[in-house]
Amino acid sequence: MDDIDEKIIRLTQNGIPLKRSPFAEIAGELGISEQEVIDRLKKMKEREEIRRFGASIGHRDVGIVANAMCVWNVPDERTEEVGNIMADFSEVTHCYERPRAAGWDYNLFTMVHSYTKEDCEEVAARISEATCIKDYKLLFSDREFKKTGVRL
């Protein structure tokens, strides 16, 4: 990674403008072409210097205020099958397996976001029906703390 790559990371890590040519301003600031900014980001990704470069939507800003972590008690021999079914639901943003803990029978976790708690409950009911998993709980968020990724 050279100085220009590092500057690109610093200029993009807090977001890019929502416009047709989001990298033009960064390119102008660095004295390179917009295509070079894009090419450098792609190469940093290929070299695994950055893990991902993607959109992040402030869901609360668009009215999605009901957030539920759905925890599921799935038979171990069905986790792969059930996890794939759960992950296919468009309302599920995260789906992952965790080891069971003493006093905690749940091993699959899905995150569901919607406009109301009732919507989240309805999604969980549909997931339950599709997977035949009846042992689950919804844990709703009360508030959101600051979220930031790794910064240079």
Identify the pLDDT of residue 54: 76
66 shares its domain with 105: yes
Is residue 54 one of the residues assigned to a domain? no
Identity at 144, one-letter amino acid code: E
How far apart (Å, rounded) are the C-alpha atoms in residues 34 and 30?
Answer: 10
- Which residues touch 21 (CB under 8 Å, ≥6 apart)? 34
42 shares its domain with 64: no
Helices 79-87 + 117-131 axis angle, to 10: 140
115 shares its domain with 65: yes
Q: How many domains does the chain have?
A: 2
Is residue 35 one of the residues assigned to a domain? yes
Q: pLDDT digit of tens for each residue in the chain (152 aa)? A: 899 999 999 999 888 887 889 999 999 999 999 999 999 999 999 999 998 887 666 666 666 778 899 999 999 999 999 999 999 999 998 999 999 999 999 999 999 988 899 999 999 999 999 999 999 999 998 877 766 666 66
Is residue 134 one of the residues assigned to a domain? yes
Is residue 19 one of the residues assigned to a domain? yes
Cα pseudo-dihedral 148, 97, 86, 45, rounded to 10: 50
63: left (phi over 0), alpha (psi -120 to 50) or beta: left
Closest CA to 108 of 74, 58, 67, 84: 74
84 shares its domain with 133: yes
Determine the structural domain holding residue 40 and report its residue range: 3-46
19 shares its domain with 92: no
Identify the pLDDT of residue 30: 96
107 shares its domain with 129: yes
The predicted model scores a pTM of 0.64
Domain containing 105 — which CATH number? Answer: 3.30.70.3460
What token pair was written down for 93? Answer: 């943003």
Identify the pLDDT of residue 147: 63
